[in-house]
Amino acid sequence: MPRFDSPRLLADIGGTYARFALETGPGEFTQTRSLRCADHADFHAAVSAYLQSLSWGDAGPQQIAHAAVAIANPVEGDRVRMTNYHWQFSIDEMRQRLGLDTLVVVNDFTALAMALPRLADADVRQVGGGQARRPSVIGLLGAGTGLGVSGLIPAGEGWIALGTEGGHVNFGPRDAREMDILQFAWRTLDPASGHVSYERLISGPGLELIYRALADRNGATVEPLLAPAITQRALEENDPLCLETLEVFCELLGTCAANLAVTLGSLGGIYIGGGIVPRLGGWFDRSPFRARFEDKGRFREYVSAIPTFVITAEHATFKGASAILDGQLRNLQASPGSAILGQIRRARSELSPAELRVADLVLAQPRSVLNDPIAEIARAAGVSQPTVIRFCRSLGCEGLSDFKLRLASGLTGTVPVTHTQVNTNDSMLELGAKVLGNTASAILQVRSHLNRDTIDRATEMLLAAHRIEFFALGHYGVVAQDAQFKFLRFGMPCGAYTDPRLQLLAADVLREGDVAVVISSGGRLPELLAVVEKAQERGAKVVAITASQSPLAKKADVALIVDHVEDIATHLPMVSRILHLLVIDILAVGVAMRRNPDSIAALSGGEDEVAKPARTTAPGVSTASPLSRLTSHSR
């Protein structure tokens, strides 16, 4: 078995316990420790306590360069705030304090989901019938301090893990007893909100709540018990109330698991982890869980065919976190120049004192440097702006933009696909972070759905066109106007039409050899569909930038798919309009690359270039390239 160059630190952080281990080689976990969160002031203190407890033997302490943390909390951006405990920290700041090159922080059930394909038959136990289909979607849930929910979607030869907070969906009672439990929860938890989630009941605190609710229902006075004591009395002493509590718990888990199965279409099976169910052993197999799972009315036959498994592997979450970390490191190693921070550390002795101040700033605050303009970077480092440029060039970069591109690939590697709801009580900083995060996520989704063949066909149509006409309505009119501006700079005859009457008139004079580019988010507007019919009737080709399976996509000769739903009744189409602009950019760059280089050079003839003879550089595009101006969205 190959060994890593240095041990990797793995952590599984819950609301009660923080578990740690070192991974010395693929799947080789040593020095496993479990620490109580309450015994440590914060996350850094818990990690430090674990590291101080390590025994290195005769070889002496080894440097730990890479770490992965699975945490019972949604992970969005750099700041982590635990839902079920008070710990919070900055990922990048924690990486620096621990002296790590890489620190990956993921949701604990995302990590557990990524472990599922790596589990052997001996690592799980099937409960009930059903047969898993491969490859198919897999569902995952588990109860501990909270209720974790995730899933796996097959993607080529790998898997995509879903980062969800499905444990917070509303609890729905199935019978009078469960209705009494819900009413008790309403009275005792948060009477003002009226919201009771499944996590409030299917968890350690949930066991205690069910116990108190059943006692109240039965008119009994009982001593307060914690979840471990309730479970022990149910399994060992046959305490009637504790036994009923555990049975209700398993029934609710069965309902929740069935809901997940039909929501995801989890024909690959439902897996159950967490800290409670695996400890119930064979009793859980005989519990009401599977009967409730299959009790799905008209969908009984559907869910009965789906198998359910209990995860019994000791280090399942560690395996998943290790897999995510390993994938991150492979991505970084495969990206040219992505190890820019390591390069800076190695080059420190060769830098001038002024350049060294820039290097220290980048190493201490890489994400700030990534976002700040050159003037702010120079001010923070206490150097001149030319010094910042010299520093970038000393690392083999063409300038600050090229340096930032390499720094970004080294810091991010992969970006999770998420959407964060904007709330009325958000601060301006939170609002900005959410809008930018949602836009970045949407861009990544479109990137994963791009079809090379359709882009090539659309580009060839535009190159061969006698004339190009761009059609859009409403808020998407600016996309058509932006496209007209770009293609006119190529010297290509084109126009942009955003008025329905002018659109029909323009479509009526199209002829064979012309191309109509129709831009529509929903692809259902009758005015634009009429333009398509008129254009094709005249012998012109139609390229659509629209949603998949829309009437416009089906009518067009080539459809470039942009799937992003926005409710234009309540707000302006922000993200989808940006996505359409980016597709226009893809087409413009594709056309520019295939045309005569002399025609590309004509792009430098804009008014702003006359005012500023010195070229500015788009991220990752050399100033020597005539495409640098075309792809620079911000100067």
The CA-atom distances, in angstroms, between 426 and each of 421, 423, 429, 435 are 10, 5, 8, 11
Residue 141 and residue 166: Cα distance in Å, rounded? 9
Residue 95 and residue 109: Cα distance in Å, rounded? 22
Neighbouring-strand partners of residue 8: 23, 66
Tokens of 318: 């560690």
Nearest 5°: the CA angle 508, 509, 512 is 105
Kindly state the helix (H) or strand (E) to which residue 591 belongs, with its residue range. Answer: helix 574-594
Amino acid type, 402: D
Q: In this structure, how many other beta carbons lie within 10 angstroms of the beta carbon of residue 400?
A: 21
Annotated ligand binding at 155? The verdict is no
Stated length of the chain: 635
Annotated ligand binding at 285? The verdict is no
Amino acid type, 262: V
Tokens of 477: 């009119």
Annotated ligand binding at 231? The verdict is no
- 3 state DSSP class of 375: helix
Strands 124-127 and 158-163: unpaired
The CA-atom distances, in angstroms, between 39 and each of 45, 152, 599 are 9, 35, 68
Which strands, in side-by-side order, build the sheet including 147-155?
A: 124-127, 308-311, 270-274, 138-143, 147-155, 158-163
CA atoms within 13 A on the CB side of 74: 14
Closest residue by Cα to residue 541 from 448, 440, 630, 459: 459
Q: Are 316 and 271 in contact (CB under 8 A)?
A: no
Annotated ligand binding at 13? The verdict is yes
Cα diameter, the chain: 89
Q: What share of the chain is helix, strand, coil (3-state, %, to 5)?
A: 50, 15, 35
Annotated ligand binding at 327? The verdict is no
Give 383-442 as a DSSP string: S-HHHHHHHHHHTT-SSHHHHHHHHHHHHHSS---------TT--HHHHHHHHHHHHHHH
Annotated ligand binding at 585? The verdict is no
- Annotated binding-site ranges: 11-16
- Annotated binding-site ranges for ATP: 11-16
